[in-house]
Structures are given as C-alpha cells and as structure tokens.
Amino acid sequence: MTTINTARPVTRPVGAWRDQLPTLIRVYGIILTLVLLVAVVGIGNPAFLSGQNIFNMLSQWAPAGIMAVGMTFVILTGGFDLSVASGYSLCAVVAAYVGQSYPPSIAFAAAIAVGLLFGLANGLLVAVVRINPFITTVGSGFVINGVALVMTKNAAFLVDDPDFGTLGAGRWHGIPYSGMLLIVFLLVFGFILARTVYGEAIYSVGGNYEASRLSGIRVRTVVASTYVLLGGCIGLAGSIIASQLSSAQANLDPGIIFDVLTIVVVGGTSLSGGVGAMWRTVVGLGIIATISNGFVLLDVSPYYQSIIKGAIIVAALALDGGLTRLVRAK
Amino acid sequence: MVESPIGSKRVSESTLAIRVRNVSKSFPGVQALRKVSFVLETGEVHGLVGANGAGKSTFIRMLSGASTPDTGDIEVQGRPISFEDPRAQRNNGIAAIYQELTIIPEMSAVSNVFLGEVPSRWFVVDRSGMEKRFRELAQWMGLKIEPQTIARTLSVANQQMLEIMRAVHAEHDVIIMDEPTAPLGPFERSRLYELIGRLKENNVSIIFISHDLDEVLRLCDRVSVMRDGQLIETRPSASWSKDTLVKAMLGDVQIVPGRKRERTEVKELLRVRNLSLPGKVAGISFELGEGEVLGIAGLVGAGRTEVLRCVAGLEPLSEGSMAIGGQDVPWPPSVGAAIARGIALAPEDRKREGLVLSRSAISNLLLADIGSVARGPFVSPSARRATATMLARQIGFNPDRLDTDALHLSGGNQQKLVIGKWLHRRPRVLLLDEPTRGIDLGAKQEIFQTIRSLSDQGMGVILVSSDLEEVVEHADRVLVMARGKQIATLDGHEASVERILNLIFAVENRPAMAS
C-alpha cells in the first residue's frame, strides 16, 4: 500500500483576528445588534431592564415566541407557513368556546388538538401531495379562517371562568406562566434541534432534500412533522392569548404572522432552509420585543413606529451580508 | 468551409493576448496565488493543469476580471485589465466558460446567446436579426440547434456550445474553458476539439483546463502546470509527457496500479436478471461476487446511470429480478428497501444528490447513519466525532477538516464524503457513479485506494466511469452498454479500451454528427 501526499494550498496560521472577523460577524453579528438595542433602550429608560418590565414582555410575547419555535423547524426544512394567523385565531376561538362550558385544561387541550390537526393537514399537503408550501398554506389559511368565522359568526366568545385566565395571565412570584412556557419551549426544542437524530434530519432535509432522500432519510415524514409541530405550537399560543383576553374571536391578530416570520428570519435562519438555529430565534425574539417595547418606553410617536421598526429589521439583515463583505474587502 | 462570422479584425498588433506579471492573491487563511507570471500568445491553445486547490480557478477568475489581484498586473492586448463590473469586463475581450454553465434554462437558445446585449431597433427587440446571426454562428460552429429551442431541453454539450457561441458572437479574443470536456462523451469531445481548432485559425487564444492529460497534450500548443498557488512551469506540449506533467502537478504522489484478478470462484453477492426501465434500459443481467469490482462502460446516455439508479431503488418504474447472496428478493421499490438490502449508491451529481453542502463534513459523513451515534433519540457529540474521524481516515479525508462545510471542500474531498457516508453502514454492494469526475489525480488515487480496500474486505463494487482506461484498469469485469442495452460482459483480461470502443461503436453505428 502506498501513502499519498496530496498537495494542499499553503495555509497561514489561523488565529489572526482579522482573518476570523468576517466569520465572527456573520455568525454573531446579530447578537451585537440585540446588545446595541438593549443598551439604547435601557439607557433611554432604565425601567426597561426592571424585572417587572421583562416579565411583562415575556408574557406579551409568549404566543408569538412559541409559534416562532415551530416556525423555526418549518423554515429549517425549507418550508413556510402562512396560515399561522388564521390558525392562531381558530385555536383561540376553540379554547374560548370549549372553555365556556368545560374546565380550562380541556379547553386548552382541544385548542392544541385542533392545531395539531390542521398542522397535519398542511404537512401532508406539502410533503406527500407535494404542493408548494407557500400556496398550500395561503389556501389552508383561508379555510381555517373561514371555519373560525362560521363558528363565531364574527362575534367574540367570552369566558367567565376565572381559572381560564391562569395559563395566560397567572404568575408565580411575579413570573408569568406563559413566559415560563416560552422559555421551556425555546430550551427543549433548541436541544432537540441541536442534539437529536431528528434535529440532524431537519438540517439535512432542509440543506439538500434529494441527497437526504438518497441517503435513506424519511424526508416526507420529517417535512410533515415540522408542520404538525408548528400546529401544536399554534394551538398553545392560541390558548395563551384566549386565556390572557378571557375571550376570542376570528381575525384576532392577522398581523402576527409577520411577527413570527420576522423573529425567525431576523435571527439569521435562512429562508432557503438548512441553515439556522434556535438561539437565533431567541435573538430575533429579543430584537423584535425590545424594539416594540422600546417605542412605548421611549415615548416614540406611533406614526413613526413602523418606519423605525422596518428600518431596524432591514438593517439587522444587511449586517448579515453587507458587513461581512465590507470586512472581507479590507 | 463556412465564411467566418467573426470578421477579420483579428489581426492584432500585439502577439501577446495576455501578459500576467507577479500576480498574488490571498483569502482569509489561504495564500491562493503566489507571484504568478504567465503569457498567452495570440492564436495559441494553452493548457493549464494542476491538482484541485492548486489555484487554477482563482487564476482564471482573475483573468476574466471576476476577482482582483492583491499585487501584480494583468495586461490584455497591451492594455491593463479592468476589474470593475461584468459590463466592463466584456470590453477586456476575455470570455470564461466555467464548469457551472451560465445558461438560463427556461429561455430560448437564441436569447441565451444574446444575453445582456439584446439587439434592438427603437427599443424593440430585433428578433429576426438575432435569429439570422444565430444561424450564421451555428453554421460556422457546426451546430444543429434551432434558435427557439428552450435551453433546458438541450444536452449539456449543446448548452456549453451556446456559451461558446456567446463568446464567438462578442468577438472575444480570449476564451477560457474550465474543464469543458468533463461532462462530454467522446463524440461531443471531438466536436469541441474541432471547434477549438477553428477558433485558433481565427486567431482566438484559448486557455484550456482539463484533468485529462492525454487530451491536454494532444490539443494544446503549450502547457502550464500549477501547484500550491504557483505556476511551476510552462513548456511546449511536445516537451511534456504525461509522466512529467503528473510529476510537476503533484510532486511525489504514487499511482495505485491496476489489478487484474483471474476470475476465480467467488461467493455471489448480487444477481440481477432482466433489469428494465421503460424507455431507458432493457434486458440487463449481471452478477457481482464478494470483493469484486464490476465496471460498466458506455457512452453518456447509454443507460449506465439508470442501471445504478434502478438497482438502488430510485426508479419506481423499473422491473427485474434480484437475488442477494443467492436468495431471491423482490425488486427494490424504494431507496429504503435497497439500503435495507445493503445496496448503497454514491450518485454522480455530488452537489445535488450526494451531499448537504450547507452542513459540515461530519454531518455529511453521518448523513446515512446518524442513528448509530445516538443513544435513543439523542446524538452523542463525542461518538459522532469519533465515528466521523474513523471514517475520514478510511477514505483519506483529512480529519482536521471535519468541521468545514461541504460547500468549501474541493471536488475530490466532496467525493470522498459521498463514498464515506455509506461506509459506516457496511453495505454489501456499493454503486459508484462517476466517482472520479472532475477531481484531480491525487484524489483519484485515494478514491481507488478506498475502492480497493473496500473490495478487499469483501464489499462488491459497481463502478461507472466515462474514463474507459479507469474502468479497464480497476474493474475485475466490465459490462459494456450501448443505447440502453447490454452488449457484452468482458472478463478483466479480455477488456481493453480499444475492444470496448469497438463494441460500442458497432452498436452506436456512428450517430449523426454535426459536421
């Protein structure tokens, strides 16, 4: 047997900080954005960093954050779900409807079951029937929204049971249950993504569907499962908001889809699939929550809020590509 | 002879098409080019060879203006080159045909040729003018392509021709071709050689990059060798030989010699009878013994890839009968079924079908068997790394590069991963589709080394390669295919490149060639 000495390009010792900088910025630049935002808002109004305020933010962002966890999985496989807002309203409506006559636990379980069900429908359509996820979920979004309208006749369902409010508004030593759920979801599903066979399959399928299929990975199951997971997250998020409001109606918050997508994408998870991580969703959530809360605390005129919010989001994404190129060009 | 459509302006004042002086370029962590000096004469076909990672790609990107050198200068026809934008580069008069073609699949052939400079009258596209010019160019190049053909439906060879046509139309003085013959079959190759000769007659200078050294020596006037970012030497082709080129390219790599085993009684691993895939292949039968390497030879499009895909369970429409270790088993309906029987495929298209480019080498090595490094559903990071390191050693992949994304690896290293990802599952039969396409000699030898040691351990290997010498050299038996049919199965000692070609051409009966 012979040994072979293949020629390789000469490598300079890697360690010079300048060589590492582009990579560091690409990977961690988004954290810098979050730190800057927190510093600006925190200096502008020290109340921002108070425990009270942080707990309130956790509770307020729990529904969108929990849905962003599921959305991270879907986007990592190269998928997309635009039916989130409709599903969110429907699940809230189901929770409130069932909560009117049954104990809260049954109401929330029903909402989650409904979420899993339409998640499964989306998943099967995308993964098995192979319809483009964009179109599939626009269509299913209409259907889901229609079901909510039929159920409510566009009226609000009110729940009198005081226990119904515990999930969304209850607190333990000042810490909201909903916020705890959010943190648990981020940790558990972050771990699943980073350290399990299933997580590895998510990245592989999103990175290259065909190569994964040819390597024996059950690609359709993996893709479909992410929509089911997102459906479950939507069910829980709908339960939380219904509980917080003690009521629900169709068209509860049509704009929440943009919050959810922005949280995932601003963090740096790629819409083309295969690249991203749960910590990025945490950072994205931090950025969006800080901006929104900052407007209130710094007393920004509502007329300017969406301009500033949009500009910060675009800037955060530009940091990803633009700054990297700038540093590389020297 | 058709009159040249590229005019008579090609009488240049300067005899030097390109002069490169002391060009260096570094990327973070890598010195890609070191003080390269190079001269391209007018009307010369200049070969450029070197191992993967030697700096060829960086060098030609620089010549085409796509990348700026750190130091040194480049002159084209005596004028310094402009590095501004693609539009300015066009004025440099240099066209580059990369391996990844820049054809837009959904547009017509004619639109692809006039991409970026559509002729117009009063802002209205001059369609008839475009088509007239297209036909003129096609005739001169010896192509039979209708202008309105959608590019996607053309063969790779013809798509490549469209790119060359783009350069001819723009009357570029220099055309750089980066491994143009890698995806081509013999007929398409000779058509390209002919075209290169014609361009040369018209004083177009050509830089020709290829891993096929015989081809380079035959076609080129002079050959330059690159290694480790340096231009080692430039000499007229006549004073190079294949051996001296290899030596210059690699320093001191040893070649894995071929092995010819006498056909002894071996234990049968796989038996396939009457494999067919409607419209593609029919009536293929063969058996594969333990530790045996079966080569499949044939032209591009003869159905070689399809045979592998059918056996690997990728073609639900395929039919046939299969026995594994003497036991009849149902024909594999899916990839999973084939894997369960111990049949694994390393597909030809590494990037599209073989690897997850956005993931690290580790992830790719464990792509097919991540469960083996997990306790229940939880992946053990240490077991994962240990297994990947073990696999890397087995395939000659540098374990220090395990954390590199597959995207940033050379073709040779990517190919090692495509093979390596199966090894932990210990398949009984490994199907290799063009495992050496577009990779350098050093990496090729490592791949053959791997094939050798796997077959020594009893694995059966089916090897498909367009390089007939490779097939003859490394296969114990050769199945020869033409037009979707099996035309012969040769034992190792009776297989030769000449014999195989004769068999193939007797069937292919010289298909209509563009004149």
| Cross-strand bridge partners of residue B477 | B294, B491
Mean pLDDT for the stretch of residues A164-193: 94
Residue A20, pLDDT score: 65
- CB < 8 Å from B in window 168-197 of A: 195-197
Distance of CA B90 to the CA centre of its chain: 27
Mean pLDDT for the stretch of residues B205-231: 90
Question: Would you say residue A327 has pLDDT above 80?
Answer: no
Residue with tokens 């351990």: B457
Task: Residue B31: list chain A partners with CB under 8 A.
Answer: 9-10, 12
SS3 B77: coil
Higher pLDDT pick, B389 / A325? B389
Q: Which of B221, B346, B295 has its CA nearest to residue B467?
A: B295
* CATH code of residue A77: 1.10.3470.10
The contacts of residue A170 (CB under 8 Å, 6+ apart) are A176, A177
Query: Please, which pLDDT band fits residue A33 given cuts at 50, 70 and 90?
Result: confident
Domain that holds residue A159: 46-299
Residue B87, pLDDT score: 62
Higher pLDDT pick, B61 / A223? A223
Q: Give me the phi and psi of B462, to 5 degrees please.
A: -110, 125
Question: If residue B240 lies in a helix (H) or strand (E), which one and from where to where?
Answer: none
Q: Give me the phi and psi of B481, to 5 degrees please.
A: -120, 145
Are B16-250 and B268-342+427-508 equal in CATH topology?
yes
Decide if A12 touches B, using CB distance below 8 A: yes
SS3 B34: strand
Task: Residue B251: list chain A partners with CB under 8 A.
Answer: 5, 7
State how far residue A228 is from chain B, nearest Cα, in angstroms. 19
**A133 in any annotated domain:** yes
Task: Judge whether B41 and B218 are in contact, CB under 8 Å.
Answer: no
Residue with tokens 């409709």: A86
Residues comprising chain B, all counted: 515
In this prediction the pTM is 0.77
Mean pLDDT for the stretch of residues A234-245: 96
| Number of separate domains in chain A | 1
Task: Judge whether A301 and A48 are in contact, CB under 8 Å.
Answer: no
Interface test with B, best of A1, A3, A6 (most B CBs within 10 A): A6
Q: Lowest mean pLDDT: which of A263-277, B114-128, B208-222?
A: B114-128
State how far residue B273 is from chain A, nearest Cα, in angstroms. 24
Mean pLDDT for the stretch of residues A138-156: 94
The Cα–Cα gap between B119 and B103 comes to 19
Q: Lowest mean pLDDT: which of A117-126, A283-292, B290-299, B403-412?
A: B403-412
Cβ contact B356–A275 (<8 Å):
no
SS3 B431: strand
CATH superfamily of B16-250: P-loop containing nucleotide triphosphate hydrolases (3.40.50.300)
Decide if B445 touches A, using CB distance below 8 A: yes
Question: Would you say residue B338 has pLDDT above 60?
Answer: yes
Residue with tokens 């039916």: A83
Residue A96 in tokens: 């409130």
Cβ contact B442–A4 (<8 Å):
yes
State how far residue B168 is from chain A, nearest Cα, in angstroms. 33
The Cα–Cα gap between B174 and B200 comes to 10
Task: Judge whether B438 and B467 are in contact, CB under 8 Å.
Answer: no
The mean pLDDT of chain A is 88
Decide if B411 touches A, using CB distance below 8 A: no
Q: Is the dihedral of CA B392, B398, B399, B402 positive or negative?
A: negative
Task: Residue A198: list chain B partners with CB under 8 A.
Answer: 377
The Cα–Cα gap between B63 and B354 comes to 32
Spell out the domain ranges in chain B: 16-250, 268-342+427-508, 349-407
The number of C-alpha atoms within 13 Å of A57 and in the hemisphere containing its C-beta is 21
Residue B50 in tokens: 């070197």
The Cα–Cα gap between B38 and B229 comes to 13
ipTM of the complex: 0.81
Cβ contact B30–A328 (<8 Å):
no
Closest partner CB to A211 (pick from B356, B379, B445): B356
Decide if B353 touches A, using CB distance below 8 A: yes
Residue A329, pLDDT score: 46
Q: Which of A149, A116, A323 has its CA nearest to residue A235?
A: A116
**pLDDT tens across B274-316, in order?**
999 998 899 999 999 999 999 999 877 788 999 999 999 999 8
Residue A203, pLDDT score: 95
Question: Would you say residue B513 has pLDDT above 50?
Answer: no
Task: Residue B370: list chain A partners with CB under 8 A.
Answer: 197, 200-201
Best mean pLDDT range from A107-116, A255-264, A284-293, B167-176: A107-116
Residue B206, pLDDT score: 94
Q: Which residues of B224-236 are buried (b: 16+ CB within 10 A; e: fewer)?
A: bbbbbbbbeebee
The Cα–Cα gap between A102 and B441 comes to 73
| Count of CB atoms situated within 10 Å of the CB of B509 | 8
Residue A68, pLDDT score: 97
The contacts of residue B57 (CB under 8 Å, 6+ apart) are B178
**A271 in any annotated domain:** yes
Higher pLDDT pick, A56 / B68? A56
Cβ contact A274–B379 (<8 Å):
no
Please provide the DSSP assignment of A150-203 as one string.
HHHTT-PEE---GGGGHHHH-EETTEEHHHHHHHHHHHHHHHHHHHBHHHHHHH
Residue A3, pLDDT score: 39
Task: Judge whether B232 and B49 are in contact, CB under 8 Å.
Answer: no
Cβ contact A14–B345 (<8 Å):
no
The number of C-alpha atoms within 13 Å of B493 and in the hemisphere containing its C-beta is 4
Please provide the DSSP assignment of B270-296 as one string.
EEEEEEEETTTEEEEEEEEETT-EEEE
Mean pLDDT for the stretch of residues B457-484: 90
Task: Give the chain A residue nearest B339 (alpha carbons).
Answer: A216
Cβ contact A274–B335 (<8 Å):
no
B174, amino acid identity: V
Per CATH, domain B268-342+427-508 is 2.60.40.10: no
Task: Judge whether A202 and A226 are in contact, CB under 8 Å.
Answer: yes
The Cα–Cα gap between B468 and B470 comes to 5
**A289 in any annotated domain:** yes
Q: Which of A166, A145, A142 has its CA nearest to residue A88?
A: A145
Question: Would you say residue B336 has pLDDT above 50?
Answer: yes
Residue B246, pLDDT score: 80
Cβ contact A8–B228 (<8 Å):
yes
Question: Would you say residue B194 has pLDDT above 70?
Answer: yes
Query: Please, which pLDDT band fits residue A1 given cuts at 50, 70 and 90?
Result: very low
Q: Lowest mean pLDDT: which of A101-110, B135-144, B177-186?
A: B177-186
Question: If residue A27 lies in a helix (H) or strand (E), which one and from where to where?
Answer: helix A17-44
Residue B13, pLDDT score: 53
Residue B429, pLDDT score: 95
Task: Give the chain A residue nearest B50 (alpha carbons).
Answer: A7
The Cα–Cα gap between B476 and B486 comes to 17
| Count of CB atoms situated within 10 Å of the CB of B67 | 17
Cβ contact B229–A9 (<8 Å):
yes
Q: Which of B274, B202, B217, B269 has its CA nearest to residue B248?
A: B217
Residue B168, pLDDT score: 87
Decide if B492 touches A, using CB distance below 8 A: no
Decide if B316 touches A, using CB distance below 8 A: no
Q: Which of B422, B434, B421 has its CA nearest to residue B460?
A: B422
